[in-house]
């Protein structure tokens, strides 16, 4: 099974989300596939550099992975920005959410359990 990493960038009591456009779109934690020979943390750093043009420091895992499909499993990590300002290179929008603004229904289904786990820990 291919692992996909998502990154919950947390800063100043809020979390960064990226909007995936299209009919199946919604808010998600940005990230992507772990490449062969790469750790999940290394993939998170690379993907966020590619997608948001920022450098991050990866922190704790937000718990057990969630199946996206028969081929993919999502793991989400907490992180903080160490250099740069986020730019939406692959998403239609970026937005910072405070804990009270995290409505799971606006998020893609695989990301929702991580939203629940993260909300009390922002």
Taking only the tens place, the pLDDT of each residue in 5-39 is: 999 999 999 999 999 988 889 999 999 999 999 99
What's the domain range around 84?
A: 2-121
Q: Which residues contact 51 (CB under 8 A, 6 or more apart)?
A: 18, 30, 31, 32, 89, 90, 91
CA separation for the pair 84, 89 (Å, rounded)? 14
Domain count along the chain: 1
Q: Which helix (H) or strand (E) holds 45?
A: helix 40-52
pTM (predicted TM-score): 0.95
End-to-end distance of the chain based on CA atoms, in angstroms? Answer: 30
Residues linked to residue 79 through DSSP beta bridges, in sequence order: 9, 58
Residue 81: give its domain's CATH number: 3.90.79.10
Q: How far apart are CA 98 and CA 105, in angstroms?
A: 15
């Amino acid at each position: 099974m291919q692992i996909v990493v998502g990154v919950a960038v947390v800063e100043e009591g809020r979390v960064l989300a990226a909007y995936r456009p299209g009919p199946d779109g919604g808010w998600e934690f940005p990230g992507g596939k772990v490449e062969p020979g790469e750790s999940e943390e290394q993939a998170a750093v690379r993907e966020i550099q590619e997608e948001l043009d920022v450098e991050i420091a990866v922190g704790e895992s937000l718990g057990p992975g969630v199946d996206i499909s028969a081929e993919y499993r999502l793991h989400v990590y907490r992180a903080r920005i160490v250099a740069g300002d986020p730019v939406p290179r692959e998403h239609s929008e970026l937005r910072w959410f405070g804990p009270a603004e995290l409505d799971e229904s606006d998020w893609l289904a695989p990301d929702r359990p991580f939203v629940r786990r993260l909300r009390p820990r922002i």
